[in-house]
Structure 1
Amino acid sequence: MAAKDEQAKEEKAPGGKKKLFIIIGAAVAAVVVIVVVLMLTMGGSKKEGGADKKAEAKSAGGHGGGAEAGKGGGGTVFPLEPFIVNIYDGQEVRYLKVKVEFEMATPEVKAEVEARQAPLRDAILVLLTTKTLQEIQDLQGKNQLREEILTAVNKILPPGKVTKVYFTDFVVQ
């Protein structure tokens, strides 16, 4: 009988090890998920500084930053909150979501852009709502829209303060 008890314990042991392995695996997965969530939320609270550093690296990395971005004094990028507007495609109304970022001549311009953010957003919203899907569908239309936004910005801020406009998100639904 003692042999049968030992044999029964040996048969239960592998099942117990499987359960332990599953529990440990689930705990490790939970820890990984928690760490990722914390990293994302901590990164989100430092969004403004991190976005500037990423944008400076992006503009210096060949996005047309030119000599100013190489000097270290220029190439500061200011992201605006996304714009979501209705546009007409000829048959129905669609949604356009656009995230716009401004490349500024100097980092000091950031304070001016922040102070004039409401008029800037208003001008861009009005401009976007005048567009149809056909006008912004191709590359030429997007480039024209980019130039029109820059012109509208230069009417609100002194010309030359914002040097370029970037679309970092452009979705039509």
Structure 2
Amino acid sequence: MTEEPEEAAEPVKVQKKSLSIKQILIFGGIILVLAGGGFFTYTKFFAKHEEGKESKESAKDTGHKDKKPAEQILIPIEPLIVNLTDKSRFMKISLQLEVGDKKHEDIVKEKMPLLRDAIIMLLTSKSYETISGSDGKMQLKDEVLSRLNQALGKEIILNVYFTELMVQ
């Protein structure tokens, strides 16, 4: 008489552990921190190194060696006070013009009355609504730059900086 073990007939149950929400959040946080650290390391150390290689290679291709960047030349324009198209509103503005070359500085200073006139004509055509807000000021800056280069007949002025701007 052989007896069969009763325990062998029952299947063995294996319990599966499931991840709790807390564990998932911890693992996700660790992954985000590692990814952020990797991105920071790449941009901080490797991206600048690659940009330097590209600029040196382009300098070799064009035959230029590391030239010093052109000196920034700023020409101030005395404050202007103009009426806006709105009733009883006016604007006070001071500007500085950036030019890229010393010979251009002389041209701009010589043509200053023409440039001031171009700015005044542009500003007096504006209303408070069109220049309020950062978008309006950026558009005004672009329009001033365009008008001044148009008045000079060539692209001499590289940028326009508002050093004072008041609307009342």
TM range (shorter): 0.5 to 0.7
So what's the TM-score if we normalise by structure 1?
0.55
Q: Does 1:154 align with 2:149?
A: yes
Richer in helix (by share): 1
Letter in 2 for 1:98: I
Partner of 1:121: 116
Q: Which has the larger Rg?
A: 2
> What SS does the corresponding residue of 2:141 show, helix, strand or coil?
helix
Deviations 1:31-68 (A, max 9, x none): xxxxxxxxxxxxxxxxxxxxxxxxxxxxxxxxxxxxxx
3-state SS of paired residue (2:78) = coil
Name the SS for the 1:140 alignment partner.
helix
1:123-142 equivalences in 2 (<5 Å):
123-142=118-137
Give the unaligned 5+ runs of structure 2: 1-66
Per the alignment, residue 65 of structure 1 pairs with none
Among all aligned residue pairs of Structure 1 and Structure 2, give the percentage whose two residues are the same amino acid.
Answer: 35
Alignment coverage as a number of residue pairs? 102
Q: CA RMSD in A?
A: 1.6
Instruction: Specify whether residues 157 and 88 from structure 1 end up closer, same or farther in structure 2 by C-alpha distance, changes over 3 A only.
Output: closer
- The 4+ residue runs of structure 1 with deviation greater than 3 A are none
Which secondary structure state, in structure 1, belongs to the residue aligned with residue 166 of structure 2?
Answer: strand
Tell me which of 146, 152, 165 is aligned to 1:170: 165
How far apart, CA to CA, are the structure 2 residues paired with 1:96 and 1:107? 31
Q: Supply the distance in 2 between the matched residues of 1:84 and 1:128 (Cα, whole angstroms).
A: 9
Tell me the distance in 1 between the aligned counterparts of 2:131 and 2:102: 31
* Cα distance in 2 for residues equivalent to 1:80 and 1:132: 22
